[in-house]
Amino acid sequence: MVPLQNRKLDMNQCDELTALKTKQGFICDMDGVIYSGESLINGALEFVRWLEESGKRYLFLTNASAYTPLGLKRRLARLGLNIDESQFYTSALATAEFLHNQSPGCSAYVIGDSGLHHALNQKGISMDEVNPDYVVVGETRDYNYDKISRAIAFVENGARLIGAHPDITSPGDDGLLPAARALVAPIELATGRKAYYVGKPNALMMRTGISMLGVHSSEAAIIGDRMDTDIIAGIESGITTVLVLTGVTAKEQVKDYPYRPKYIFEDVGELAAQFTEEKAMVRRSLAAHLKVPHGFLRHQAERSIA
């Protein structure tokens, strides 16, 4: 959508925003939506405040497998956002749940950070560097030739290859960083085996997220920065899609996809600001239509619940 400062809302746009605003639940990506690197994205505080003050259900659903929910809680707390640990669901948790359901008590050779290791341990999946049932790969900086070689050997010996999620890159302070699929690629190429990817847009992760949100899919929206994961995940799950342009997908790239998001905003700050503007416009329109004294309407607005 066009930045707020460059236009006035008409009534049709107001109706569209009202349809989004009245959704009961919001699934939000994190990296590229709420923060980038170690900085909050413009308007993230205001957007989360709007969710809280409006009584919305919300869940941070992230493909990032490196962090535990507690780690994400602490990371956002350092940036000024106080979010309960229960409001995070990661691809690491989804991967652990998938393996537990497929093969309880299985073993895995893991290339990944603490969030992935912790999630697997919590589901009783043991670490095995001799003869694992699975090779599981998530994003990590601890990645080298020896680990790739061992993973290739295990897959050649029959271990099944699992990627925590299919993102090739993730946004960082100095540009794009390699994500899980980029780290799985050498193993796929060397063995000729294709990995199974658990994170978004996999319906397994999305169904769990919607269930955790506690609303019907028709009453939910997903906000993300990637057409190839967040937006397609929302479309295939039957929930309203919102693309923000602060992460991986640029506005000019949207036309390259055969599907479209329902809404496009510059960032979550613009989204929160337009909700505020839409509310003000409705009040102005009502005042003009009913010819209610401005002071009376302002008094009523102050008493209303956002």
User: Using alpha carbons only, what angle is made at residue 158 by residues 155 and 162, rounded to the nearest 5 degrees?
Assistant: 50
Which residue do the tokens 């709007």 mark?
50
Q: Is 10 a catalytic residue?
A: no
Residue 111 makes CB contacts below 8 A (sequence gap 6+) with 135, 136, 137, 138, 140, 142, 143, 147, 151, 183
Q: At what angle do helices 268-290 and 11-21 cross, to 10 degrees?
A: 120
Q: How far apart are CA 231 and CA 222, in angstroms?
A: 8
How far is 186 from 43, CA to CA, in rounded Å?
A: 38
Contacts of 90 (CB under 8 A, 6+ apart): 62, 63, 64, 65, 67, 68, 69, 72, 115, 119
Q: What is the DSSP letter of 104?
A: T
Q: Judge contact between 16 and 274, C-beta under 8 A.
A: no
Strands (E), 138-291: 160-163, 169-172, 175-178, 196-197, 220-224, 240-244, 263-265
Query: Do residues 69 and 144 touch, judged by C-beta distance below 8 A?
Result: no
- Side-chain half-sphere exposure of 30, counting CA atoms within 13 A: 25
Which residues fall within 8 angstroms of residue 56, CB to CB, at 6 or more apart? 23, 24, 25, 26, 50
Provide the total of helices (H) and of strands (E) in the chain, helices listed first: 11, 15
Q: Which residues share a beta bridge with 161?
A: 135
Active-site residue, selected from the candidate residues 31, 113, 225, 230: 31
29 among known catalytic residues: yes
Check 29, 167, 225, 230 and give the catalytic one: 29
Question: Could you give the residue numbers annotated as active site?
Answer: 29, 31
